[in-house]
Chain A
Amino acid sequence: MHGTKILEEADRLMTVCNSCRYCEGLCAVFPAMEMRRAFSDGDLNYLANLCHACGACYVDCQFSPPHEFDVNVPKTFAIVRAESYAAYAWPRAFSGLFARNGVAISVVAALSVAAFVFGFAAAIDRQVLFGIHTGPGAFYALMPHKAMVGLFGAAFLYAIVALVMSMRVFWRDIGEPIALRTDLASLRQAIKDASRVRYLDGGGVGCFNEDDKPTDRRKIFHHFAFYGFLLCFAATCVATLYHYLLAREAPYPWWDLPVVLGTLGGFGLLVGPIGLLAARFRRDPVLVDQASTGMDTAFTLMLFLTGISGLALLLWRETAAMGALLALHLGFVFALFITLPYGKFVHGLYRFLALVRYARERQAMAQFAAPE
């Protein structure tokens, strides 16, 4: 019937859940499930990516293990999600990167950092590398601006293309027409739901992690990581505008917008990933797809390393360590970019698209629902 064993299991669970429906108030997954009586591969991938892994349905389920019906939706969907990430990877040849994602990303990160360190060491005179540079254009003494823009622009562009292609495959797989019609209401709803991580709240009390006491901790740390990432991205954008529009070159003083945004973002990238990683390791193993530990941690760790190397660069940018720290930071950022399409980062995009689809389905249902 289904492409894989785990999809068979997901189908079995959705059949159980659809005959019960007690969980329908907890999140988006169960109302979406109720709109169907049978589940295609695409439906299951959609539901799995709609699941935020809050764990509430497991804790609330009268049929979860050790019950013989063995209903474990969070874990099953975690495995389905992980397999779907690999299936949607673009180009397909790289889907193997998801199999041992922790190793893959570590290797890429190490190579990237090494390339920058050795690249700097080889290309730059020792005096310059370990010299003290201050004032506008200080970074470019080590790496010409054009080279930096060329390299990172290419990496960024590649990531964008690969991600967009993957998203297209997902969108098609879950049965939506490939041309995303401008459906502003659904888009707005999905942005609202995603920005609040609405469905990580167990239906209101918080999500479940190491025991049966719900908390909002994971959600808060996710906010730190997510908004930290966005702030850092915003810092880069503002700096780019400064450079080209105002002809003001980095580094900027500590009170200037790019630095303020970057510092706040960097702080988020320290606190968020630490909290998320701690929660990940304390999480009740019954809820976790053990095979995805590498993937779950690698991207989070990359965010942390990007954040901490950025902050270190800020702190010591006026010392002789600047050259080495710049190489380190650029190494991590470069690795982060090129691995974005091949790691946990994609969860946000698929989940967002699933939320868009959910909002569209809700709309359609509301239109057809008979007035009572």
Chain B
Amino acid sequence: MRMVDFDRKYDVLVIGGGNAALCAAISARRAGASVLVLEGAPKFYRGGNTRHTRNMRCAHDAATDILTGPYPEEEFWEDLLRVTDGQTDEELARLMIRESKDILNWIVEQGVRWQPSLGGTLSLGRTNSFFLGGGRAMLNALYLTAEALGVEILYDAEVEKLDIADGMFVSASLKHNSQHLTARAATLIAAAGGFEANFEWLKEYWGEAANNFLIRGTPYNRGSILKMLLDKGVQAVGDPTQCHAVAIDARAPKFDGGIITRLDCVVFGIVVNKNAQRFYDEGEDIWPKRYAIWGRLVAGQPGQIAYIIFDKSVLTSFMPSLFPPIQADTVPELAGKLELDPATLQKTVAEFNAAVRPGTFDHTILDDCRTDGITPPKSHWARRIETPPYYAYPVRPGITFTYLGTRVNKQARMLMQDGKPSANMFAAGEIMAGNVLGKGYAAGIGMTIGSVFGRIAGREAAKHARN
């Protein structure tokens, strides 16, 4: 790799190394700009949470080789409106949806390859395009393209300070192999993700409970760039207290457990807290809504831990995950292994079993298997837990991303607190996702935000730099 020249002033400085950063770098370079990418992580961990993604949601008017049917712009918009409860900037959202159509082709021109939807995710076959080989394969392709185009990339480049004067980016101070360096550029594109891996920051909103959170993605998303920008007068967007959390296996590592620690078996059993008590309707709603609420529910329980309890009859009904379930021949024995009170767990299971009404089980619809006379109820998919052996998965909140970000306009240009656009600062990806996704989540939308706004930011930054 060519050496980065810190004496020169680049047209575009990209901070970050994921999908948004690389799309921005490639787009700026293709528009004729000189581009330097500073990735805070070492090469293996490059790309932030993009490493753990696998698909992108793009609007399209007709079925393709890999998509089973059309996904019109209007339907995408309605889906977005629904998941965010209206917490979205309509102008930006509609722009993103419109641009997403061309991204399907543009991203392929950058070397990324598609495949039909993966096993176990057929429900996304019409709306989402899957990366052949997953998110890291996608990143590898983008990096190869960026390098071939002459984008300069520095890994282990931790930006410590941004020199910003009156909303105008001047330079970035960074540490690289214990060397302190300064990178100057005519424009800045911030694409450095959220702050979900920064426990100190999470604790500001969640208190000590945050210590029990697991971070599903990279440990490098500490939000330092976001914080610097907000401190320098960039306007914030999105609820700072909120993060996207799902229930994942409590035995997962603190960081970077990725997809393989997710558990989607809540519907097949009951969920109890450390007092061996149920606390929420396990049959309330269908995937993906339930997937997205259980992290928060577990975060609200004592010790931020819960246990999904089920029996042999459903053991093979869901996708396998990394850790095997904890197994026992009786409910009290299972409680013992989970360090729960055996009598209470037995009572909880017995009460639940007694409340189950007969019905026809079908986990693909809101079926008529429900409980009667207990609180909370299990409104669908309720079946007795009575066939030994019994199983349990311990779960904790797994944090995927945060919503707080920098406000941008249609050029992906950051807006300052006074509402004026910054002269030369742009943002793309998770760091500005809150503009479009103020709340909730729809599968693959993070990648759409990254690619669309990355491409726009690169183009606009190059235009600005060359003027």
Contact = CB atoms under 8 A, between A and B. Distances in A.
- B is a partner of A: yes
Interface of A: 15-16, 18-26, 31, 34, 37, 56-57, 59-63, 66-69, 203-205, 212-213, 372
B162 interface: no
Nearest to B120: A21
Across the A-B interface, the 7 shortest Cβ-Cβ residue pairs: A22-B134, A25-B115, A60-B133, A60-B137, A19-B260, A62-B51, A19-B321
21 contacts: A16-B322, A19-B259, A19-B321, A20-B134, A21-B119, A22-B54, A22-B133, A22-B137, A22-B259, A34-B119, A37-B316, A37-B320, A57-B133, A60-B136, A62-B256, A66-B44, A69-B322, A203-B115, A203-B132, A212-B140, A212-B144
Contacts of A63: 258, 260
Interface of B: 44, 51-52, 54, 113, 115-116, 118-120, 122, 130-137, 140, 144, 253, 256, 258-261, 316, 319-322
Given A20-B258, A20-B260, A60-B133, A15 B119 contact: no
Indicate the member of B119, B120, B133, B253 with the most A CB atoms within 10 Å: B133
Indicate the member of A56, A61, A63 with the most B CB atoms within 10 Å: A63
A205 B322 contact: no
Nearest to B51: A62
Contacts of A34: 119
Contacts of A16: 260, 322
Contacts of B54: 22
B320 A23 contact: no
Given A20-B260, A62-B258, A67-B256, A15 B134 contact: no
B283 to A, nearest CB: 24
A69 B52 CA distance: 14
A369 to B, nearest CB: 11
A18 B258 CA distance: 13
Given A18-B320, A56-B133, 15 more contacts: A16-B260, A19-B319, A20-B259, A20-B260, A22-B118, A22-B133, A22-B135, A25-B130, A25-B132, A59-B136, A60-B136, A60-B140, A68-B256, A204-B132, A213-B144
Contact of A21 (B118, B135, B144): B118
A23 B316 contact: no
Nearest to A23: B133
A18 B119 CA distance: 10
Given A21-B119, A62-B52, A15 B253 contact: no
Nearest to A36: B320
Nearest to B316: A37
A56 B258 CA distance: 19
Contact of B133 (A19, A25, A66, A67): A25
A25 B316 CA distance: 23
A25 B44 CA distance: 22
